[in-house]
A and B are shown apart, each in its own frame.
Chain A
């Protein structure tokens, strides 16, 4: 049997193709064999390709990158703002939890407010709740630790001004439960308060706890005010006075509760 040169070549090509196609039966083994010794070269070529394409991408996409950077900056700012708002919510949540633990919610109907301005010279605070939140004049303002801060004196739509108990215009009834003493807490200005109108025969001691009394109806009974710091007695006066070290620290107050009813 004789083949012409042309037929012979075609036959070789067909045979070659059949041999190659038959390798599919051992595809895993054949490919695995080539991959085993090509892997290091492929790895370095891949790395080089990645670097070179990054370089060219940087050149060709310079304009787009600028735009993208600006968009990302904006996005970043949005996320930062969202993060801050979430942190505020977390803080608010924590304060509410603390208030629940103390049982404030059980005793009073409360509204949480954030301090947005402080006027220490005038002994007042500005909070972010107002008429829209059901706030009205004269409502007591306390901290989550049940410490008296002051009373609402000015109301706006979304804001209110709190007159601190240290204001010269502030005075309300208080008591020292341990000694069964009633008196009046007055503001001295400059964040200072004192207890007045205590009969001379009553014995006062430094460190006595002063709490609010319900007598005047200004504050609910049993709210914390401070500790007696210094007792002042005068020979000419029928009453004695005592300086109080208040529990609230205006510089640290960030959130307060407004007692809506008691």
Chain B
């Protein structure tokens, strides 16, 4: 588990830096969605959780939510744990949905 978490740290660290320093320049400048920019961390967490539906692979999904959320909290003004809670809840939600209601033949 620890090894998996360590593997996730570096990509998520750079992804958060990219998110907070590079992608903020591409935020929407008008309309309802003003100030919004693409959230690659959220996208990564969703994708990892979606493509690791196997119960044994739970730590990839939850771990990514933990690390992604932690780095997002560090490089944003929100208190530490805010994004972690949201992403971990999202990871569990995806797991539950996939386990109970979705059957993908490829997996």
Contacts and interface: CB of A to CB of B under 8 A. Distances in A.
B26 A49 contact: yes
Nearest to B62: A13
Given A17-B81, A20-B70, A20-B80, A34 B75 contact: yes
A46 B26 CA distance: 11
Interface in B60-88: 62, 66, 70, 73-75, 79-81, 84-85, 88
Interface stretch (B13-21, B41-49, B97-105): B13-21
Contacts, number: 58
A41 B17 contact: yes
Nearest to B85: A17
A179 interface: no
When A and B form their complex, which 9 residue pairs have the shortest distance between CB atoms, in order from nearest?
A53-B25, A45-B21, A49-B25, A49-B22, A21-B81, A42-B21, A45-B22, A46-B21, A23-B80
Interface of B: 14, 17-18, 20-26, 58, 62, 66, 70, 73-75, 79-81, 84-85, 88
Interface stretch (A24-32, A104-112, A213-221, A235-243): A24-32
18 contacts: A9-B58, A13-B88, A17-B84, A17-B85, A20-B80, A20-B84, A21-B80, A21-B81, A24-B80, A31-B80, A34-B75, A42-B21, A43-B21, A49-B21, A49-B24, A49-B26, A50-B25, A56-B26
